[in-house]
Structure 1
Amino acid sequence: MFRQLKARFGAPVAMAIAGILGIWLILMVTLPQLQMIDYSLRPSLLPAEIGGPKDGWTLINYVTLFNNDIHLSIFFKTLWSSVLVTSLTLLVSYPLAYYLAKTATPGQAALCLLLLIIPFWINEILRTFSWFILLAFRGPLNEILLTLGLIERPIRFLNGDTGVLVGMVYAYILFMVFPLYNAIESLDGNQIRAARDLGAGSLRTHWRIVIPHAKPGIATGCIMTFMLAAGSYAVPALLGSPGSRWFTQIIYNWFFEGGDWNQGAAYAFLLLILCIGFMALVMRLFKVGLADIAK
């Protein structure tokens, strides 16, 4: 990366950019994470006990999760639900990305991208709350279904994880569409035409030609969507029912309601480990490296 910057902008500018990037990574990423790890390894003590004999590193905050069946079940439920959100977002985004990259005219692609981007000019809380209104027990969606005679009584879409899944797929669709679009757009159209000339159907063409070429984009989109879903707080807080709590809500409660920053830091670090593990799994599954994802 430094060589590319040096070749394009010259050594002084490249060094300045690398220096700014390094300082940003240290101050905004590395040091906060190290402090969080330190917090997670220390017990929650009274102010007078800080710095005393009890103030030492311990794994008690991590053991708490595995001794709490409710929190542990929410942790694994968040893992499974985040994987489900990622899968649903991929299923929705892939046809759209392919249409934008290979089928749509420049005008159609520009219009479609504009329609996708405009809602994201609005604050995430407002966008999520709009789904709360749409999916409400007496909301517009139920009223339309009742009017059309498709249902006999209103459906409680917000009872369980349905509303959370819908809200998250909508909230993070752009983070899946753009990596897929960039990967598919670079595919030579002659390969697709050649596959069809040789008798391959649409499904076989996508499975053997498009998807293998788009693996870096799929991996990038899945990683970004999973990490955003696993770390989301606003969507499950607004669209989830009391029985569909997210692990981030437990972390929030430790920090701001329980006032136990040490326990909250341990839970947050475990969530970070979960996201890193998923990223490594996706990279291994798709056989891509960090350089491929960075493209």
Structure 2
Amino acid sequence: MGGVLRRYGPVLTAAILLAVAVWLLLLVVLPQLLMVDFSFRPSLPPSKAGGPEDVYTLRNYATLWTNQIHLAIFLKTIWASSLVTAVTLAVCYPVAFYMAQVAPRRRLPLLVLMLVVPFWINELLRTFAWYIILAFNGPLNALLVGLGIFSEPQRLLGGDAGVIIGMVYVYILFMVFPMMNAMESLDRNQIEAARDLGAGWLRIHRRIVIPHAKPGIAVGCIMTFMLAAGSYAVPALLGGPQSRWFTEVIYNWFFEGGNWNQGAAYAFILLILCVAFILLMMRLFRVGLTDIAK
């Protein structure tokens, strides 16, 4: 804070802090408070609002545990989001390590650009591209049949597989860059010393690289899980009735069922899930908020 004050002066610093405070209050705090208030109230017609029936209740939260279909979708969303996070981590770890420790410095801007440029396109368009790729008569099925892996085209859309593939692609940057940022600060001499002492690549990564990159891995897992659990466009476009996401249920409560109170309760449950996942990652990787903020 002292550095910001010295750099920008008291007037500009005060203006920046005021803008941040207003942004947090209007776009983060107040909507969340309204959502919490809605979630504890029953869904009533306007004529009964503020009347004797308009009292705080846990009925909206209890609905999730009594509705077996919604509970199954909620649990499947947790499992599938965790799977998306694990697959994205497995795909992005070698990419992040190569860019941070192996790639020549002169090639790094080009590699970063190759990763970023596809994401200049809107997320919906990128998801529609995967809809075409995974279609029954799409190029992926044609390639797999041509290679003899499948004897006939398979339905890759309308199930969990298509949704997971789409999400891994959509959120890949949120895993790559935090890990790359953490790995860049690792001294290459430590890796070279370990190799000179006879350590294999698996042991080098397990004993040197991964412990050093724990904050970046934690941030990548947190961001990927939260985005996957809160995604609506990807499961709506690539999924089907058998692969519904919890966000689709929330959307139905708000915009089709007209029950904003029930939708707010479900949304708050999803928020609690994401906070619990953050705490789990911090405990699993033994990192604090200061480490994550780096």
**Fold agreement, TM-score > 0.5:** yes
Counterpart of 1:201 in structure 2 is 200
Once the two structures are overlaid, the 10-residue window that deviates more, 133-142 or 106-115, is 106-115
Q: Give the secondary structure class of the aligned counterpart of 1:105.
A: coil
- Matched to 2:209, the amino acid is V
Amino acid at match of 1:210: V
Structure 2 matches for 1:174-253, cutoff 5 A? 174-253=173-252
Q: 1:218 and 1:116 mapped to 2: Cα distance?
A: 18
Counterparts of 1:139-154 in structure 2 under 5 Å? 139-154=138-153
Structure 1 length-normalised TM:
0.97
Partner of 2:48: 49
What is the letter of the counterpart of residue 23 of structure 1?
V
Can you list the C-alpha shifts for 1:139-184, whole angstroms capped at 9, x where unaligned?
1111122223332100111142000000000000000000001000
Aligned to 1:138: 137
Please say if 1:26 is aligned against 2:25. Answer: yes
| Distance (whole Å) between structure 2 residues aligned to residue 146 and residue 198 of structure 1 | 47
Amino acid in the other structure paired with 1:104: A
Q: Pairwise mapping of residues 64-143 of structure 1 onto structure 2 (< 5 A)?
A: 64-143=63-142
Q: RMSD between aligned alpha carbons? A: 1.1
- Letter of the aligned partner of 1:184 in structure 2? M
Q: How far apart are 1:256 and its partner, in Å?
A: 0.3
What does residue 161 of structure 1 align with?
160
Query: One-letter code of the match for 2:113?
Result: L
Residue 61 of structure 2 corresponds to which residue in structure 1? 62
Equivalences, count: 294
Please state whether the residue corresponding to 1:287 is helix, strand or coil.
coil
* SS state at 1:107 partner: coil
Aligned residue in 1 for 2:260: 261
Provide the rounded CA distance (Å) in 2 between the counterparts of 1:176 and 1:85. Answer: 11
C-alpha displacement of 1:107: 3.4
| Mean CA deviation greater in 272-281 or 144-153 | 144-153
Structure 1: stretches of 5+ with no match in the other structure: none
- Which 10-residue stretch deviates more, 282-291 or 151-160? 151-160
Q: Distance in 1 between matches of 2:243 and 2:224?
A: 19
What is the CA distance between 1:24 and its match in structure 2? 1.1
Shift of 1:116: 1.1
Amino acid at match of 1:181: M
After TM superposition, give the deviation of residue 12 of structure 1 in Å: 3.2
Task: State TM-score, norm by structure 2.
Answer: 0.97
CA distance in 1, matches of 2:276, 2:105: 39
Q: Distance in 2 between matches of 1:226 and 1:88?
A: 11
Identity %, equivalent residues: 65
